[in-house]
Amino acid sequence: MEATTYVVSNELAKISSLLPSNKKRSLIVHSLINALGLLSHNQDQEMLPIRVVKPVPAQYDDLAAYHTRDYLEFILDPKNSSGAVVEQDDVLEYGMEDDCPPFPGLPHYVRYVAGATLTAVRDLREGRCKTAICWDGGRHHAQKSRASGFCYVADCVLAILALRRLLPDPHNPAVLRKPKVMYLDLDLHFSDGVYEAFHTSSSSQASSHFLHLSIHHAAPGFFPASPLAVLPDPSAEGFNPYTLSLPLQRGASDATFARIWKLVENVKDAFRPDFVVLQCGVDGLAGDPYAVWNWGLSGAEGSFAWCVGRVLAWGCRTLLLGGGGYSSPNAARAWAYITALARKEPLPVDTPIPDHSGFPLYAPSFTLDVPAGHMQDQNTDAYLTEVERIYGRAVSALRERDIEAHDDEWATRYIPMFLDVYEDVGYWDYCTG
């Protein structure tokens, strides 16, 4: 029975809790999950065992797999986040302003968050688990050479790059192949940092081994302001079916997610991933200070947990990452629920919050549930029908590209190998008499 890996340590929780946008959230999340007994071994045969793994802080070379040298030298220098006077030009160049202010401990934060995500990736690649969880990861706005949107390190990108490294073919271990990685983002905000890391304006240059799909809100003035956040146009020249966006309007509810989910399933079926990276931002849940969507945690088809459960049922090796979520108690509720789901032991949504240091934060209900509110869902039938039409064409393009990529792989990798084998055994001499 394969275990579920859960990456945490006291150092990680403490340093992540310094993040200005989510102060103390990490401690609140891990405290609730631990208080619910989800980090303990259980004799129940139905519950998957859990491996609690301490993160290995990322080294410079780990971070340099994506980030530029200049950015790393700036952000890893303690004097640039210790309150000392810093050149204003550097502050602007590296995005260390507004939503990404420098804070004491930032170099350690960068190393620990990236290292935690890469520790989870290592367990997945080495077959120690089917699902790996790193709730302190999911920093999907960080750019190659600057911080952005509360994100200082692009751990999602680093994870994808690591997962794409060659692995033995499961059907022929003597042959190395590049795994297919699907990145699915459920955060309220568009995953611009991940999209831009892998997006190419040329469809012919797009990699058939990585697919990006972000489900998010997009509107004028809503962060991030990106032309890439809109619905794709499959008829446009250079359309890339491997980098997809699916924006939803205000009030997106369980019913809306239930309707679009078949499109997500169609994309997955066409792509056939080996690994899935699922960014589980929870700022779309009802009760979040952003108050844009009206997503419930559980109890209905299309709820947040229902969607995550569908991904876990795909059978791929899956990395679960955190993300946005600015009601810390609700983020803890959601990620605790998903942790139980990953162990195949779902908790009732009316589970009482256990007595622990964070107990008063869960007033007034003191239960695990995050119920939907009464916001009107502005995702009309006409809009969702248009989304379905566009994604029908996108999936068709994806299937065509996948067939082409499969044929190319056989032509460049397997056919030469078979020719060598036949030559070794004298097959051609036999055929030619």
DSSP H/E element including 91: helix 88-93
How is the chain split among helix, strand and coil, in percent rounded to 5?
Answer: 40, 15, 45
Tokens of 219: 């509107």
Q: What one-letter code names the amino acid at 307?
A: C
The identity of residue 213, as a single letter, is: L
pTM above 0.85?
yes
Told to judge if 141 belongs to the known catalytic residues of this protein, a careful annotator would answer yes
Q: Which of 30, 108, 140, 141 is catalytic?
A: 141
Spatial contact of 369 and 245, defined as CB atoms under 8 Å apart: no
pLDDT (0 to 100) of residue 139: 98
Q: Is the pLDDT of residue 256 over 80?
A: yes
What is the β-pairing status of strands 167-169 and 172-177? Answer: antiparallel
Which 8-state DSSP code applies to residue 359? G
DSSP state for residue 3 in the 8-state scheme: E
Q: Which domains does the chain have, with CATH numbers?
A: 3-431 (3.40.800.20)
Q: What SS3 state is found at 395?
A: helix
Give per-residue pLDDT as tens, 66-85.
Answer: 999 999 999 999 999 987 66
Instruction: Give the orientation angle of helix 328-342 with respect to helix 304-312, to 10 degrees.
Output: 30
Whole-Å CA distances, 95 to 16, 46, 152, 294: 19, 47, 9, 31
Q: Compute the distance between CA of residue 166 and CA of residue 156 in angstroms, rounded to an integer.
A: 18
pLDDT > 90 fraction of the chain, expressed in percent and rounded: 83
pLDDT at residue 191 in the model: 98
Give the C-alpha separation, 322 to 336, whole Å.
Answer: 11
298 phi, psi to nearest 5 deg: -160, 175
